[in-house]
Structure 1
Amino acid sequence: MRRFVKDNALSLFFLLAFLAALVGQSIAGTADYNATQLSDGGEPVSWPAYVTSSDFAVDVAENWQSEYLQFLLFIMVTVWLVQRGSPESKKPGEEGAQSDQEQKVGPHARPSSPAWAKTRGLRQSVFSNSLGLVMGLVFLLSWLAQSVAGTAAYNNRQLAQLQDPVSWGAYVASADFWSRTLQNWQSEFLAVLSMVVLSVYLRQRGSPESKPVGAPHATTGEEN
């Protein structure tokens, strides 16, 4: 067990942090929702009722879809785009998907390489793009969940105000949906931009996300 925890400490830390933040969000969200309910003359709800509501689902889903969009775009654009001096980038001149030899696939695979990296055709193609495919799938599913839950939450507010509900298509085209979506996207893009640019000039000793402290600013793609 100690070996397992040590070997997986990074993922375990972020899993626990994620769960703690999700629980905290649900508790704070219940309190905020009930405060709004009371101010509007409605009835407060229990914690289980809130966490199974469309209001909680849309808040969670819209954060998930923006996070996975961030990673999807970063994974894909770093294949072709570079930032000189950033450890988050390939070196200038190395743009592109690279050769089979550089990627160690097919006849260039090592004995310890994943089984699908040693194959040819569809399986190798799928495995070669599996990270982007999974990130893209999770993004699309969480975006769909956001849109469906958002439609339900929006219609609940409409009915409470004695107004007509809207269809899923109408909500996806609405200002409410895109306001919620874009406020998440812009923060994710700013975070990636900050990481790419600041890592050119700033260091964090011992972190694999940083260049060695003594590395020149122009050094690209080098990590601790």
Structure 2
Amino acid sequence: MRRFLREHSLTLVFAGLFLAALVGQLFTGNADYNERQAALGQPLLTLGSYLVSADFLVDVVENWQSEYLQFFLYVWATVWLVQRGSPESKPADKAGPETAEEQQLGRHTTESSPRWARAGGWRTSVYSKSLGLAMLALFLFSWTMQWIAGCFANNSDPLAEKVGLFEYFLSADFWNRSLQNWQSEYLAIASMAILSVYLRQRGSPESKPVGAPHSVSDRSG
């Protein structure tokens, strides 16, 4: 058990932080919602009712979709786009999908390679893009949930005009919720790419060695 916890500590710690933050959001979101309801003379919601409400769901998934969008774009963009000197980037001469040898495909696979990497054909083609596709699917799912939950939350507001799903998709509220999250993700990616050229974090795989030259990318030796 101790070995398992150590070898999976990164996932377990952040999963725990996620759950703690989600519970905190539930309590604070319920309190904030009830403050607004009381000011309008509307009924208050219990914690359990707020947990299954559209207001809580839309606040949760609008952040999820922007995070998965960030990872999807980063996974796909870093195939072709580079930032000289950043450990978040490949060296410029490695831009693109790389050779079969570099990716350990075809005759370069081994018995320990994943089954679909050794299978060839459409299975290897799909598997070679599976991380980006998974992030895209999670983004589209959470964005769709934000759209639907946002529409229900809007229509439950006594001061808001009642709209259908398509009308809400075109509404300022939906796109404001989306774009205010997207712009922060784009800024975070750009900041990490350029700051990691010049700054260091000893022992982190997201950083170059402390003494590495600024111009050296992570895989350029």
Q: Percent identity?
A: 55
8 Å CA contact retained: 1:61, 1:145: yes
Q: Which runs of 5+ in 2 are unaligned?
A: none
What's the counterpart of residue 211 of structure 1? Answer: 208
Are 1:169 and 2:166 an aligned pair?
yes
What's the counterpart of residue 44 of structure 1? Answer: 44
The amino acid of 1:43's aligned partner reads P
Aligned pairs for 1:101-120 within 5 A: 101-120=101-120
What's the counterpart of residue 190 of structure 1? Answer: 187
What's the counterpart of residue 90 of structure 1? Answer: 90
Aligned partner (choices 189, 196, 218) of residue 221 of structure 1: 218
What's the counterpart of residue 180 of structure 1? Answer: 177
In 2, Cα distance between the equivalents of 1:164 and 1:199?
Answer: 47
In 2, Cα distance between the equivalents of 1:83 and 1:137?
Answer: 27
8 Å CA contact retained: 1:211, 1:222: no
8 Å CA contact retained: 1:203, 1:213: yes
The amino acid of 2:88's aligned partner reads E
Deviations 1:81-134 (A, max 9, x none): 000000000001111001111100121102211111111101101110110111
In 2, Cα distance between the equivalents of 1:91 and 1:20?
Answer: 38
In 2, Cα distance between the equivalents of 1:221 and 1:211?
Answer: 6
The amino acid of 1:212's aligned partner reads P
CA drift of 1:214 comes to 0.2
What's the counterpart of residue 4 of structure 1? Answer: 4
In 1, Cα distance between the equivalents of 2:39 and 2:122?
Answer: 58
The amino acid of 2:151's aligned partner reads T
Q: Which runs of 5+ in 1 are unaligned?
A: none
In 2, Cα distance between the equivalents of 1:5 and 1:103?
Answer: 30
8 Å CA contact retained: 1:150, 1:177: yes
Between Structure 1 and Structure 2, how many residues are aligned? Answer: 220
The amino acid of 2:85's aligned partner reads G
What's the counterpart of residue 142 of structure 1? Answer: 142
Deviations 1:140-180 (A, max 9, x none): 000000000000001111xx13x641111110111111111
In 1, Cα distance between the equivalents of 2:149 and 2:106?
Answer: 44
Structure 1's consecutive aligned runs of 4 or more residues displaced over 6 angstroms after TM superposition are none
Deviations 1:47-94 (A, max 9, x none): 110010000000111000000000000000000000000000000111
Distance 1:208 1:90, change over 3 A: same
